[in-house]
Structure 1
Amino acid sequence: METGISDEDILLRLKEVLHDTFEIDPSRVNAQTHLFTDLELDSIDAVDLAIQVQDMTGMRIKPEDFKNVRTVGDVIATVRALLTR
């Protein structure tokens, strides 16, 4: 991914990932969506999501970078931080 990507582009890609990986309807996903309460993901799902984000960015995510992620917006911020390193 290039760094000129918008948060909206990241959100669209995350919707695809969540749909393809967890069969979550993209219409349920926005920046305020809580991964665990709204989408019912668990800690193993969060690891899978982190791997997907790594694949998406081509960059390694340290577990501590992802442990405070709670919402889709947090994932977007993590992707943004990886892309601007």
Structure 2
Amino acid sequence: MQFSEIIAKTNEFLAEEFEIDITKITPQAVLKDTLELDSLDYIDLVVVIESNFNFKVQPEDFVNIVTFQDFYLYVETKVNAKELV
């Protein structure tokens, strides 16, 4: 999957799931603040990621994810690793 496809797909399902204006989702924006995530929302986020990209998410994976760019790179790494298997 191309990086641009990951960004487009991610932005689309995050905007829908978290009921946010898609224009607020930018690479430099802080994921937690933009989506107004609390601890339960992180569970929803994990479920949405797993269902849209078909890989398992570990809670500790979110330690280094601050911005949407970090999130895109994380998804790209997981998707590419899955495709190599």
The alignment's TM-score, normalised by the length of structure 1, stands at: 0.80
The answer to whether residue 23 in structure 2 is matched with residue 27 in structure 1 is yes
Shift of 1:60: 0.6
Corresponding residue number in structure 2 for 1:58: 54
How far apart in 1 are the matches of 2:39 and 2:3?
Answer: 24
Structure 1, residues 20-70: CA drift from partner, whole Å, max 9, x if none? Answer: 111111111111111122332223222211221111211111111123222
How many residues of Structure 1 are paired with residues of Structure 2 in the alignment? Answer: 81
Cα RMSD (Å) of the superposition?
A: 1.5
8 Å contact kept, 2:18–2:35: no
Alignment gaps of 5+ in structure 1: none
* Contact 1:33/1:39 (8 A) holds in 2: no
TM-score (structure 2 length as normaliser): 0.80
Amino acid at match of 2:37: L
